[in-house]
Amino acid sequence: MQQFVTYIIWGLIAGAASGFLGIGGGIILVPVFALVFGLSQHQAQGTTLALMIPPIGLLAALKYYFEGNVNLKIAAFVCIGFFFGGYIGAALVSRVPDMILRRVFGVVMLLVSLRLIFSR
């Protein structure tokens, strides 16, 4: 039971960050799944993708929409690309060794964070 509560707490943290910052749960949950819960990098990324399908986007997106902060034209077209791109990425990732994937993920997060910290 305690494990389920821990999962829910991490879901609340990631969901709140997603709704607040628009960063997506992956930035928080992939490292948590890999480093805290001991999943492989592939499992961490796959689990994150699976959990984000129904809950994260719907209520947060509705809130943003009703506040006038959603560009539906951009969202619709990016969604199409994201839909197929997600499948392509998932198909390609199985060929990448876990440690390399973990390092690539870390480098991407590092580069994004440095860009956010040092850009105007």
Q: Tokens 């749960």 — which residue?
A: 25
The pLDDT of residue 99? 94
Host domain of residue 80: 2-118
Number of domains observed in the structure of the chain = 1
For residues 46 and 87, what is the distance between their CA atoms, to the nearest angstrom?
A: 11
Tell me what percent of the residues of the chain surpass a pLDDT of 70.
88
- Report the alpha-carbon angle 48-61-119, nearest 5: 75
> If pLDDT is split at 50, 70 and 90, which confidence band does 69 have?
confident
The pLDDT of residue 91? 87
Mean pLDDT of 92-113: 89
* pTM for the full predicted model: 0.63
